Structure 1
Amino acid sequence: MSAIATSFDKLMQECARVPPERARELSMAGHVAGSVMSPADLLSYLIGWNELVLKWLDRDDRGEAVDFPETGFQWNQLGALAQKFYRDHHALDWSELLERLSMAQAGLTRAVAARSEDELYGQPWYGKWTKGRMIQFNSASPYANARGRLRRWLKEMT
């Protein structure tokens, strides 16, 4: 929980520096080699993954099968999944994206807090990975990566 909170807070500090009028500017290296994206796409990607993890946890809590990574996508199709996330949130403006990401992060924090250490780290959940690691892979780690991308982008634009 500490890693999620710390990396999210640092990310949000960088997001606050993004001029909203440039949030849809396609000038940042994309998630697929040779592609470009906007800061808004970057937030859409984070929202998509955070909400996907919440979906995984909800399905698991209800005893339903979890379709990793997402229905209709395989692990070798993450570029296509990123493009889906960009499309899913394209209608949202910068402030709406920030709010949606904050809500998703808060949901993850609640989900982690509601689980025991044993449930999070006591046994594998997907392959060799525990729930705790799967959550981290799709929250704290991507927040730190996104922060670095935004920092580089902000530096390049000045």
Structure 2
Amino acid sequence: MAIPSNKEELISAIELNYKKLKAEIDLITEELSDLKTLEGHLKGTLMSPKNLISYLIGWGELVLTWNSKKDNNENVDFPETGFKWNELGKLAQKFYQDYENEDFNKLKLKLDSTVENILLLIDSKSNDELYRISWYEKYTLGRMIQLNTSSPYTNARLRLRKWMKEQQFI
């Protein structure tokens, strides 16, 4: 799928990629959700499907926080307070820890809710606000949302499919 260039394409990309990802997530049992055999986001580490969902929630929540702060004319630490763009593996580890005590089914519902809130955010913005105004450095808000939602959903789906085959799950 091409990179979205307008509001409708962004919504479509998120909905389509999340629908495909959700179908894969729904195949994972609670017992397998903690199995740390997926390649982690930090070089040389392993993660579980539960960690992968935590990662997606973490980025989705960051997108919502960034937007809320920007809308309130507050300072935004990109990507997150205490982290630099070259430390995204460490940020992923933080996301894993943020949700490590959550039940797998609750995490799935939290991810659903995060995606819904992102779609509501997009719906609340005009196409110009999403794609015609620089929002962070050279990036528009629409591009920042896409980079942290629909693209990672595709990547996560491919990771899970590979993992399920390795586990002889599918």
Q: TM over 0.5: same fold?
A: yes
Which position in structure 2 is the counterpart of 1:148? 158
Alignment RMSD? 0.6
Which position in structure 1 is the counterpart of 2:7? none
Which position in structure 2 is the counterpart of 1:138? 148
1:18 aligns with 2:28: yes
4+ residue segments displaced more than 2 Å: none
Q: Distance in 1 between matches of 2:153 and 2:120?
A: 17
Alignment of 1:1-158 (within 5 A): 1-158=11-168
Unaligned runs of 5+ in 2: 1-10
Letter in 2 for 1:3: A
Q: TM-score, normalised by structure 2?
A: 0.91
Secondary structure, in 3 states, of the residue corresponding to 2:114? helix
Letter in 2 for 1:105: V
Q: TM-score, normalised by structure 1?
A: 0.98
Unaligned runs of 5+ in 1: none
Q: Deviation of residue 13 (structure 1)?
A: 0.1
Q: Distance in 2 between matches of 1:66 and 1:105?
A: 21
Q: Deviation of residue 36 (structure 1)?
A: 0.5
Q: Distance in 2 between matches of 1:60 and 1:106?
A: 20
Q: Distance in 2 between matches of 1:88 and 1:73?
A: 15
State, as a whole percentage, how many aligned pairs show the same letter: 48
Q: Distance in 2 between matches of 1:32 and 1:67?
A: 21
Letter in 1 for 2:166: E
Q: For each residue in 1:65-93, what CA deviation from the matched residue of structure 2 results, as whole angstroms up to 9, or x when unmatched?
A: 21110011110111110000000000111
Q: For each residue in 1:99-152, what CA deviation from the matched residue of structure 2 results, as whole angstroms up to 9, or x when unmatched?
A: 000010000000000000000011211111100000000000000000000000
